[in-house]
Amino acid sequence: MKHTLSVLVENKPGVLTRVAGLFARRGFNIQSLAVGESEDPNLSRMTIVIDGAEHPIDQVTKQLHKLINVVKIRDLEPQYTVASELMLIKVAAEGEKRNDVLQIAEIFKAKIVDVDRRALVLRVVGATDKLEALLELLQPIGVLEVVRTGIVAIGRGRG
């Protein structure tokens, strides 16, 4: 099972390296990692997705906790979590292909953020499976470049 960890860390140089280094050293495979400043400028929040079947999630969180700069860890429960990811896709869109791309973009509520004679850049935000579905549809048309932020997630409600 996939686990989404929300990890509050001190906003200091080298902290990302410590976290990434720990994962590498213990052989934990990161599926996705996103990091940015939190509501408190002294703290950053990381969203880390890992495969719990591969590694006992308990070991992962305990080892993370041992890092002095890690302040708090939450293992987000899927049903109480809002998760989202942003993806930019550059698609070859010449001639009649262009219309196909625009239609697909419309369905997925993807925004066209750059237009050029030969290519379009789409921006889409949403759950990972939505992003994957869009990619799959665009693939035969000609995907030139993809860039994703990784998942960011937050617990529902006030908790």
- Bridge-partner residues for 154, per DSSP? 82
Q: Does the protein bind other proteins through residue 65 (CB under 8 A)?
A: yes
Of the ranges 61-69, 75-83, 89-97, 145-153, which one interacts with other proteins (CB under 8 A)? 61-69
DSSP state letter for 28: P
Question: Minimum CB separation from other proteins for residue 68, in Å?
Answer: 5
Chosen residue from 29, 36, 37, 59 binding other proteins by CB under 8 A: 59
Helices 97-107 and 128-142 meet at what angle, rounded to 10?
Answer: 170
Residue type, 18: R
Reference 50, options 72, 16, 26, 66; nearest CA is 26
Residue 149 found at the interface with other proteins (CB under 8 A): no
Contact positions toward other proteins, by CB under 8 A?
A: 9-10, 13-14, 17-18, 21-22, 25, 56, 58-59, 62-63, 65-72
